[in-house]
Amino acid sequence: MVHSELSRRGFLAGLGGLGAATILGGCATGSSSDSGSSSNSTTLTLQSSLSDADPKAALTKVVGDYTKTKVTLNTIAIESFRAQLPTYLNSGNPPDVLTWYAGSVARDYASKGFLLDVSDLWTGNGACAGFSPALKELSTGAEGKQIFVPTNYYWWGLFYRKSAFQQWGVQVPTTWDQFIALCKTIKSKGVAPLTMGTGSTPWVASGWFDYLDLRINGAEFHRDLLAGKHSFDGPEVKNVMEHYKQLLEFFDPKGRSYSWQDAVTPLASKKAGMYLIGAFITSAVPSNAVDDLDFFRVPIIDPNIPVAEEAPTDGYFASAKSHNPQGAKDLLSYLASPDAQQEFIKLSKSSNLPTSQKVDTSTFSPLVQKGIKHLNETKAITQFFNRDSSDELQTTADTALTKFLDKPGDVNSILSAWQASAKKVIAS
């Protein structure tokens, strides 16, 4: 959920000097040419939402190392950036390059003609040509053109402590039936099989909804559902909720009062067995337990459905109105390069993954290396409920899913109310 910038995306932590970039508080103007200069020497503007101190410093250092064109880096607080982004892109002199998310948000701006076509960066010797097909799909607009450059992402999975599984004598499951059997075994030992913090962070409940929909109905259906092409009270979603209902007896009941961070505590103390959450969990696990942390993919329910994974993906797009489109593409190519990705991740001390397979991952932790392999092997990538739809639709999910957790017997009326609320949001 993007409203928890520090905890979900801002766990990119690191160091970095000010470099050569200019840091401004809120200027949103685009590129400008020096007197008598050619368009190739035009100063570029990069508008960044990485306002937490450490990722801001890391990006500043990366941008400061860029020497081909002068770059002005404007860093804006995340919520202000989100609110002003349509204004930035629709202005007469927009920023040339902007940080943001892949997926439906980028596609929506592309459909309005706001984003520069960067398809040439995805072919031949382009900076993104070696990125995975799943990332390319995620960066493609409705017209089949690439409009986004992804530079880092993180994975979701069922996290657990290796020593706990060894202590309980249990194995990682691969099928749904094996998973349910595992939950029953852990519960028989007096341990909550699953932890989940849905008190002050109700968006966490969408993690299970997303994954069950992906495993039962597939990524294409899931994206279409969030785009309003299917109904939340239709038979497909009712099937998802039937599977969700199977899990309810296994959740730690205290989770309804926990934040996502609070829900890490029972996992770390072996009072809970597993947690479906993003890799940002590493920022909340005690340091003496991090090396004991492992994960596995949400088990397969229908083997005929191609495997998809949630991988919220960050990067950059460029304004279609940039006064220096080639310069913007050159900057994007640099930001997507293995060296720039590696420097950013290193300085950030991040658990995020590079999108370039040419980044040297030999110094990454075994957990992160497993995360890379996990996503490289998937057939499709989705983001997370709000990133594949909107923050407004996420609110309807928060309401519906927390009501379901409290009163699962009311599931039909809850889904009907959800569909009515979602229809209003999508129509607005």
C-alpha 89, offset from chain centre: 22
The per-residue pLDDT for 2 is 39
Fold of 5-153+314-358: D-Maltodextrin-Binding Protein; domain 2 (3.40.190)
Q: Where are the domains of the chain?
A: 5-153+314-358, 156-310+383-427
Determine the angle formed by the axes of helices 219-226 and 205-216, rounding to 10 degrees. Answer: 130
Going from the first residue of the chain to its last (428 residues), give the mean pLDDT of each consecutive group of 10, the final group possibly shorter.
38 30 45 44 88 83 96 91 91 95 90 96 97 92 96 95 98 98 98 96 96 97 96 98 98 96 96 96 88 97 96 96 96 98 82 90 89 89 91 93 98 98 94
- The distance in angstroms from the start CA to the end CA of the chain is 21
- Tell me the per-residue pLDDT of 395-411, one tens digit each, with 9 for 90 and over: 999 999 999 999 999 99
The per-residue pLDDT for 128 is 98
Instruction: Give all strands of the β-sheet with 192-194 in edge-to-edge order.
Output: 192-194, 272-278, 156-161, 293-296
Return the biggest CA–CA distance within the chain.
77
Say if residues 384 and 210 touch (Cβ distance below 8 Å).
yes
Fold of 156-310+383-427: D-Maltodextrin-Binding Protein; domain 2 (3.40.190)
Predicted TM-score (pTM) of the model is 0.80
Say if residues 401 and 206 touch (Cβ distance below 8 Å).
yes
What are the distances in angstroms from CA 318 to CA 30, 224, 407?
11, 26, 46
